[in-house]
Structure 1
Amino acid sequence: MTELVHATHDRGITTLTLDSPGNRNALSAALVGDLADALTRCGEDDDVRAVVLTHTGTTFCAGADLRDPPHPDALVGLLRRIVELRTPVVARVTGHVRAGGLGLLGACDIAAASTGATFAFTEVRIGVAPAVISLPLLPRTDPRALARYYLTGERFGAAEAVRTGLLTASGTDVDEVLAPVLAGLRRASPQGLAETKRLLTATVLETFDRDAADLTALSARLFASPQAREGMTAFLERRDPVWVV
């Protein structure tokens, strides 16, 4: 089987690279499983001080794979694993992010992108809602901005993503942006990182505990609906769905 997530390690930092170019790193059942397993291994390795999550190609993550979508429970589990991991997780984005891919950014502790990256919550355009990914996003991002971008599916850039709290920082060279971040993480004690992350993620985990079951059920119901079938078919056929006026 093709390896969809590659792991490399350098001076306390493990980099996990999404490598599924055939579907623009979309969240297929296989990719979600591979990434969850890779994160579990990182959590069990005392040599891992932090994790960098990045990608090949021009797209960080295109959202759910409509041909092979993960079960909502699996996506909840992946997002929670990022949030609960004892080491910080840093997103490194040099391409575009759509829909479910934004949930990965929301779950990460720090997220940086190049200035050419673009973002969009496209769920409403195919008849569903950003349900499960709201678990890490709602506690961490500007609610008025989320209302706009959730409801319209508009594309926005890295500067706006920073303003809304979706990103920590952006710059022409994302590696220059992240250099002081990674240097700081390498100087921090493992215990200090773990306990500080626990403080920072407490509210997010409360949201998972309270809302995960309801949002998982909502996601499953919407994806099985007639409007979602029309929306996904239209997307795959590269046409407007019937409701576009």
Structure 2
Amino acid sequence: MTALIGRTRARAVETLSLDATGTRNALSAALVGELAAALADCAEDHEIRAVVLTHTGTTFSAGADLRDPPHPDALVGLLRQIVQLPKPVIARVTGHVRAGGLGLLAACDIAAASASATFAFTEVRIGVAPAVISLTVLPRADPRALARHYLTGERFDAAEAVRTGLLTTYADDVDDALAPVLDGLRRSSPQALAETKRLLTARVLETFDRDAADLTALSARLFSSAQAREGMTAFLERRDAAWVV
């Protein structure tokens, strides 16, 4: 089988690349499983100081793979794994991010994007809600801005993503923006990084402990509903759903 996650290393920074361009890096059961395994390797490797999560192609992630979706428990596990990883995880985005891909972005400790990147919570347009990804998104993002984006599914740009709290920074050249970040991480003690990350993610993990079961159940219920079947069919057929007025 073709690997869905590319791996490279430079000066103690491991780069994991979502590499399923045929599906715009949609979160399939296979991709989620392979990414979880790669992250587990990174957690155990003492030579790795930090992890960069990036992508090939023009899309960081198009969200859940509607033909081969991961089980909600698997997606919860992946998001928690990123949050709990004892090393900083940095998202590097040079393309578009949709739906579940924003859950990955919000799980990362630092997120940088190119100025041309676009973002959208498109779940409402296919009859579901951004349930599971709320575990990482809601603790990070501005509630008033998020209400608009959750409820309308509108596309927004990198400047708005920074204002909302989904991104740390953006630039014409994302690698220029990340260079001082990676330099700082390489100069930091592994022990200090792990403990500092623990301080920063404590409230996010409280959200997992409190809400994961309920949001997983909500996701499963919505995805099995009649409106979701219509919404996903309409999406795959490239037409408006029946409720569009």
TM-score bracket for this pair, using the shorter chain length: over 0.9
1:40 corresponds in structure 2 to 40
Letter of the aligned partner of 2:135 in structure 1? Answer: L
Alpha-carbon distance, 1:34 to partner: 0.3
1:149 is displaced (CA, Å) by 0.2
Query: What are the Cα deviations for residues 172-224 of structure 1, in whole angstroms up to 9, with x where unaligned?
Result: 00000000000000000000000000000000000000000000000000000
- Other structure's SS at 2:111 match: strand
Question: What does residue 144 of structure 2 align with?
Answer: 144
Number of the residue aligned with 2:181 = 181
Q: CA deviation at 1:110?
A: 0.1
**2:21 match:** 21
User: Deviations along 1:125-170, whole A, 9 cap, x unmatched?
Assistant: 0000000000011111100011000000000000000011000000
Q: CA deviation at 1:6?
A: 1.0
Counterpart in 1 of 2:170?
A: 170
Question: Unpaired runs of 5+ in structure 2?
Answer: none
Between the aligned partners of 1:40 and 1:22, the Cα distance in structure 2 is 25
Task: List aligned pairs for 1:59-138, cutoff 5 A.
Answer: 59-138=59-138
Partners of 1:58 and 1:137 in 2: CA distance: 23
**Secondary structure of residue in 2 paired with 1:139:** helix
Give the structure-1-normalised TM-score.
1.00
Aligned to 2:223: 223
Q: Find the aligned partners of 2:12 and 2:144 in 1 and give their Cα distance.
A: 38
Q: Which residue of 2 aligns with 1:208?
A: 208
SS in structure 1 at match of 2:53: strand
One-letter amino acid of the structure 2 residue matched with residue 152 of structure 1: T
Shift of 1:4: 0.1
* Equivalent residue letter for 2:110: I
Q: Which amino acid aligns with 1:41?
A: D
Q: Measure, in 2, the Cα distance between the counterparts of 1:128 and 1:141.
A: 20
Residue 192 of structure 1 corresponds to 192
Distance in structure 2 (CA, Å) of the matches to 1:168 and 1:190: 22
Distance, in Å, in 1 between the alignment partners of 2:2 and 2:227 is 33
- In structure 1, the residue corresponding to 2:139 is in which secondary structure? coil
User: Which blocks of at least 5 consecutive residues in structure 1 are unaligned?
Assistant: none
Report the equivalent of 1:31.
31
Q: TM-score, normalised by structure 2?
A: 1.00
Post-superposition Cα deviations, 1:55-93, rounded to whole Å, max 9, x if no partner, equal 000000000000000000000000000000000000000
d(CA) in 1 for partners of 2:193 and 2:82? Answer: 14
Q: Counterpart of 2:14 in structure 1: which amino acid? A: T
Q: 2:144 & 2:198 partners in 1: Cα distance?
A: 27
Give the AA of the match of 1:72. P
Aligned counterparts of 1:145 and 1:68: Cα–Cα separation in 2:
31
1:21-45 Cα shifts (integer Å, max 9, x gaps): 1100000000000000000000000
Distance 1:141 1:185 in 2: 24
| Distance in structure 2 (CA, Å) of the matches to 1:175 and 1:21 | 21
Partners of 1:6 and 1:57 lie apart in 2 by 12
